């Protein structure tokens, strides 16, 4: 968003959120850092050729953000760029694995909250 925080700068981007996804935040951040600030077609190509589970999830989320932008009539999807891409920690599912001699080890199944925002090209110059 712009420095003035006005309504015009907030309208120039569209967001998509994905919450409680079963991808660890550490692994998702590797993929998100790759595409942050890229043009949308370039980011989609990078995600399509990245052999990671998080890339499939983030590609679907990016397509959703682009569809939201087209619904808001922000412009052509080939001209848009990724203005914000964030991965936050979600809740941790705690499980136990049986070990020898009656002991147990804890297993933490981590989840993520992922947010992607795409902006129109005119918003890139005003920021």
Q: Residue 118: which CATH number?
A: 3.90.470.10
Q: How many CA atoms lie within 13 A of 91 on its CB side?
A: 5
CA distances from 87 to 25, 79, 125 (A): 6, 24, 25
Residue 28 lies in a domain: yes
Q: Give the mean pLDDT of 14-43.
A: 96
The pTM score is 0.83
Residue 1 lies in a domain: no
pLDDT at 66: 95
Residue 55 lies in a domain: yes
Q: Give the mean pLDDT of 36-61.
A: 96
Range of 48's domain?
15-126
Q: Strand pairing partners for 25? A: none
Residue 10 lies in a domain: no
Count structural domains, the chain. 1
């Amino acid at each position: 968003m712009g420095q003035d925080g006005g309504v015009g700068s907030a309208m120039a981007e569209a967001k998509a959120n994905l919450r409680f996804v079963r991808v660890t935040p550490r692994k998702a951040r590797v993929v998100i850092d790759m595409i942050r600030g890229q043009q949308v077609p370039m980011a989609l190509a990078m995600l399509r050729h990245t052999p990671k589970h998080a890339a499939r999830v983030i590609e679907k989320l990016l397509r959703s953000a682009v569809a939201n932008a087209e619904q808001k009539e922000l412009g052509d999807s080939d001209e848009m760029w990724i203005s914000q891409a964030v991965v936050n920690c979600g809740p941790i599912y705690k499980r136990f694995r049986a070990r020898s001699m009656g002991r147990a080890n804890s297993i933490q199944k981590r989840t993520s909250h992922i947010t992607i925002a795409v902006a129109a090209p005119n918003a890139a110059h005003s920021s």
